[in-house]
Every structure is written in structure tokens, then in C-alpha cells.
Structure 1
């Protein structure tokens, strides 16, 4: 199997919001990404709207609907606002993350032992409306299997600690060991698997060599940084190649 690429457009929206102008266009660059072969688009519409705004969500859903093979993924903490957005838009996938509104970015997975009873009815409601549900998870082989008990379809491995080892090969190897162990347990528990956070063209292939059954990676910051240097279409092709896809370049 080939791991699919979903482009997280939060950083694009954050750059736009610095001047409250219509550029860079979140919809326009998402279209470029899809035309370049991205599997999907991911958004995280936080309550403070510091990057993707609620008003961005429906236009992006409408855009993705123009590409029959593409998927729209909404992620966030399952408060009333996020649930309302999801039930209104009906994305293909909802990724639930344990974010506090004050966090700069997602930086840990769910505590599945203590939050199992909170997550289970949320997962059931979203799945009942036809949406796939993924739960953000630390690379913890001892607890990730509990995610399956919530009824979730997938777990998304938080790869931030691995991404932070970009200048330390020994530390990177240790983090890969943790990710591989958690990925194996998740697979054995019947969970599909996603991954995301601080993944790059350089560090993505070693991760996928350890866990080639990862279904999807969601990449924002690293891909946006590449887009500033190479352009969005080339950046998407570079990440698709890192995922093992054949590209035109």
C-alpha cells in the first residue's frame, strides 16, 4: 500500500490572517495541492480562529467535493462548536485531538484510559453520521490499543517528538522504535493508522519504512515551508514521493 498525503492548510491561513487580506488564498492553494495529487485537505478550526476560520470550512469542503478521490479531514477538540461544524459539513474524517484552546499546536495524544468514557459517545455520534473517526495518540504501545475500545476507526500517531530529533540520529532511532511499536499494537487492535506533526521530506521515509501500513499522513508546517521555497505543486510532489508514490518529477 501507499501512504496517502493530506495537506494541512492551517499555516497558509495563519499567514493570510496576519494582514486580514484574501491572500494567500486558502482555497486557491488547496486547489493547487489537489491538482498536484494530494489525497486530501486537513483543517483545524480552533475557537480563536488564529488560522483556519469557520468561514473557510464550507468553501474547502465544496472544493474537495470537486475531486472524487479526495478527502476532507477536520480536526480539533470535540467541544460543541467543533461538533456543530462537523455535523454541518460532514467531512470524510474527523480527527479528535485533546487540545486546550491556549495551545499553540497539538502536542500530545489522548489519555485513553481516563478519557475513554468521554470519547466513546462522541465517536459514536460522528460515526452514526457517516464520518470516519481518528483519535490523536501518543506513541505509547501500552495504551494505544484502548483507542479501539472507543469505537474509533483510526489512531493518528503524534510524531512531534520524532520530528524534534532532526539533528540527532540516535534520538531519532529511539523515537522510531516507539512509533513502530505503537503502530504494530494499533494494527493488531484493528485500528487504521494515520500520522502527523513535524514530518518532513527527509524524516517521512524512515517512518514509513518502519510502519508501511500507515494509511495517511497529515502535513502542514513542513509542507508549507517547502511550498515557500519550491511552490505548492512541487512541494506536494516532493511529499508524495516521500510517501512512496510515483510522481511526474
Structure 2
């Protein structure tokens, strides 16, 4: 029998990649990524997420440093989450940023966006080394995983602090009202996360759960009902699309209402 878990408020981390992508279409300094970060944090968002890629096609390496400085100087209670593939260059950038959370994703540099999670057992050695280095730097590590119990359990075994469920398939099926099976897989994966052994902190059981990709005001309620103890969602494309209509502050407030 799967867990019966009390609901908790889920934190909102706003991904600014889409904002940076719009800025980079022209040789202009706007929209200013730091100014948008202030807008969403002032509206109540709990943190900021960025995913710098090697070609800097949206978030630039300089943005990572600028946003890290903003959090430290103006929003010390907010969290900074940096996502990326654990190449030496990315790990150096993530560690220098002192991001509170580093989310490791298995992206190929040519991908337009994340479209799958880690095969954790296959990539065990790479992940174990990266997680060890980030822990030594005092940073929390989340692994981007498909909604599969086996990968969730393996994430606990490799030393991750959290998992981030890749919710792209759920979101696509939700649009077709064909997501019941995916919700069942989410329940099973969440159960596995709660039961996972945690090698990084001996004696502590369970992996904290995040989620991200194609989440919207429409599909978040079903996700929250299925995983009521979801700690954090990272949302970029959906909230940016909504912000084009209602502005970022109002969009943030609407997402916070759904997540509370």
C-alpha cells in the first residue's frame, strides 16, 4: 500500500532561461534577467533557477554570477538553483556560484531543452564523483530523473539529497486527458523517494522531491494531489507565457496559490 501523506506547501523556483533567451535575440541588455529576478522574488517566489548551457544560448555564465550576487545581497532567504550537465566547466561554475542547490541533468549540449532523466545506475561513477565534489563545497544536490522508482532508489544510493521528477510526459498526457497511468507512476516514484536510503547523510531516510518541466496552472493541482509532500517546483516556460498576459508578479501569485 502506498503512503498516505499530508500535504505541505510547495516552494516555487522561477526558471529565468526563457527571459534570457528573449534578451539574447537582440544585442540589447533587456529584458534584464536580474530585474526580472527582483520582480518574481518581490512577488513571493521562493527562489530562482537557471540552466546555463555551454553555448550560452539563453543564460550566460555572467548571469549566474550576477544572480548569485543578487541573492546574497538582497534576498538572503531566497534559494538559488543552478542546473546542468556535470562537466568540469559546469561544476566549476556551479561551485563558484555557491548555489544552494545544484540540479544535475543528463542533457546533451545540442538539446533545446531537457527531455529525459538520468539512468542513474549506468552513470553511477560520473554522478558519484560530481555529487561528492558539490557536497564538499557545501551544496545540496538534486538529480533530474524520469518517473521510475528504480532510478529514484538509485539516486539515493549514489548520494543525492533530492530528486527532481521530469514531468514532461505527465504534462503532455494531461493535455490529452490521458494522464491517469502517469499519475500512478508518480505515486510509485514518490513512495520510492520516501523509502530511499540516503548515503550522503548516514541514518537519514528518504529523498526530498522536486519536480519540473511543462508545469502550468492547469496541471499543477493534479501533480500536487498525487505528490502532496512535493518540496519544490521549478517553472520557466509556463510561468513566462502566463507573464506575457498578466505580468510576472501576478503570474507568481497565481502559481503560489495553486502550490499552497
TM-score when normalising by structure 1:
0.96
2:169 maps to 161
Which residues of 2 match residues 25-104 of structure 1 at below 5 A? 25-65=32-72, 66-104=74-112
1:212 maps to 228
Aligned residues: 243
Separation of aligned partners in 2, 1:143 and 1:234: 36
SS, match of residue 38 in structure 1? coil
CA RMSD of aligned residues (A): 0.9
Separation of aligned partners in 1, 2:129 and 2:96: 18
2:213 maps to 197
Separation of aligned partners in 2, 1:100 and 1:128: 26
1:232 maps to 248
SS, match of residue 156 in structure 1? strand
Structure 1: 5+ residue stretches without partners? 245-249
Extract structure 1 runs of 4+ deviating beyond 4 A: none
Separation of aligned partners in 1, 2:128 and 2:150: 19
**Given the alignment of the two structures, is residue 110 of structure 1 paired with residue 118 of structure 2, yes or no?**
yes
Which residues of 2 match residues 9-20 of structure 1 at below 5 A? 9-20=16-27
SS, match of residue 142 in structure 1? helix
Separation of aligned partners in 2, 1:129 and 1:17: 31
TM-score when normalising by structure 2:
0.92
